[in-house]
Amino acid sequence: MKQKIEKVLAELEELKCKTAKEVEEARVRLLGKKGEITALFDEFRTVDKDMKREFGKTLNELKQKAQEKIESMKENLGGDAAAADSSADLSMPGDPFELGSRHPVSIVRQEIVDIFRKFGYDVAEGPEVEDDYHVFEALNFPPNHPARDMQDTFFVSAGHPNPLLLRTHTSSVQVRAMESMKLPIRVICPGRVFRNEAISARAHCIFHQVEGLYVDENVTFADLKQAILLFAREMFGPDTEIRMRPSYFPFTEPSAEVDVSCNICHGKGCNICKGTGWLEILGCGMVDPNVLEASGIDSKKYSGFAFGMGLERIAMLKWRVNDLRHYFENDMRFLKEFNSSIEV
């Protein structure tokens, strides 16, 4: 036994490995299940009792030496060993990391915000869970006024004199802006709105609007018309024309709906503009004096205009999306269509 130990010891002293593979082979040969040192431990069981102490010590020392040598050889080979050892094929193509794309509604919102920023408008935001006062009352919808039915409302807490509800339009942010900002006010307010509507290709219970408000001395309908015309030309192209049709909103007087000339058929009539040559894009008007007064603004001194538009509608016109539900279903095939619109 003694001789065998010495032989392995000598072998260990001589041991030199150049590659990780050789180190691993040496480890198996010496310390593996059927390795030489392992075999010596097996043999040790049969050694005479009085010799056990001496052999036990040398055997343990041998094992420790072998382990240390193997470890140090592995370390010395370092990165080379890992590379040589690894079965990775470095020429294999990597896992592609797909870039996300911006949602069409976000793209349109950003475009509108950028256009109005150029005209000197600030961006304002307000809460999605609003109270009746900011969504209706301060906007000249008296209690029980039939105009409230124009917008089916989701109530959060009903039966209260000023119940909480999910805002049905971003016009509520005009009220907050008039309450909190110094005059003159020039803001646009993008945001999500909610209506209790059956979901279909043309209606959804969630959608997005951008509201605009300008209040100053001597603001006139001509200013409104000019602001909308400039916006329409930036958004839909320099040849775009607008037309205004009289309309009704409780918070503006007079009120109008605005159409832009169809940028697909250029007025000839196509199935997008339903043969009319015009596409409706927004509602607007001169802020009703009652609305100014409700927010503490002197309507004798100040006047203003406001407008509001649906982002899904604008995106629909821009990309000819024919079903509102696409915007909310997150179907990758739909979302990927807008990849090219990424702005970094």
User: Which positions touch ligand DAH (CB under 6 A)?
Assistant: 169, 171, 211, 249, 252, 283-285, 306-308
User: Please, which residue, 191 or 308, has the CB nearer to ligand DAH?
Assistant: 308
CB atoms within 10 A of CB 146: 8
Q: How far is the CB of 287 from ligand DAH (least distance, A)?
A: 8
β-pairing, 185-194 vs 122-123, is: parallel
CB 126 → ligand DAH: shortest distance, Å?
Answer: 13
- Least Cβ distance, residue 132 to ligand DAH (angstroms): 15
Nearer to ligand DAH, 54 or 122 (CB): 122
Residue whose CB is less far from ligand DAH, 40 or 295: 295
Shortest approach of ligand DAH to residue 230 CB, angstroms?
Answer: 17
Cβ proximity to ligand DAH: between 69 and 148 the closer is 148
- In this complex, which beta carbon is closest to ligand DAH, that of residue 165 or of residue 284? 284
Tell the smallest beta-carbon distance from residue 171 to ligand DAH (Å). 4
Q: Is the peptide bond before 184 cis (omega within 30 degrees of 0)?
A: yes
Least gap, CB of 251 to ligand DAH (angstroms): 6
| Pairwise CA distance, residues 189 & 60, whole Å | 79
**Taking CB positions, which residue lies at the least distance from ligand DAH?**
308
Establish whether the linkage from the previous residue to 190 is cis, with ω within 30° of 0: no
CB of 157 to ligand DAH, least distance (A): 22
Q: Which residue, 66 or 187, has its beta carbon nearer to ligand DAH? A: 187
Residue type, 238: P
3-state SS track over the chain: CHHHHHHHHHHHHHCCCCCHHHHHHHHHHHHCCCCHHHHHHHHHCCCCHHHHHHHHHHHHHHHHHHHHHHHHHHHHHHHHHHHHHCCCCCCCCCCCCCCCCCCHHHHHHHHHHHHHHHCCCEECCCCCEEEHHHHCHHHCCCCCCHHHHHCCCCEEECCCCCCEEECCCCHHHHHHHHHHCCCCEEEEEEEEEECCCCCCCCCCCEEEEEEEEEEECCCCHHHHHHHHHHHHHHHHCCCCCEEEEEEEECCEEEEEEEEEECCCCCCCCCCCCCCCCEEEEEEEEEECHHHHHHCCCCCCCCEEEEEEEEHHHHHHHHHCCCCCCHHHHCCHHHHHHHHHHCCC
| Tokens 């050892």 belong to residue | 85
Residue number with CB closer to ligand DAH (5 or 153): 153
State the nearest-atom distance from the C-beta of 220 to ligand DAH, in Å. 15
Taking the least distance from each CB to ligand DAH, the nearer of 249 and 327 is 249
Nearer residue to ligand DAH within complex by CB, 8 or 286: 286
CB of 247 to ligand DAH, least distance (A): 8
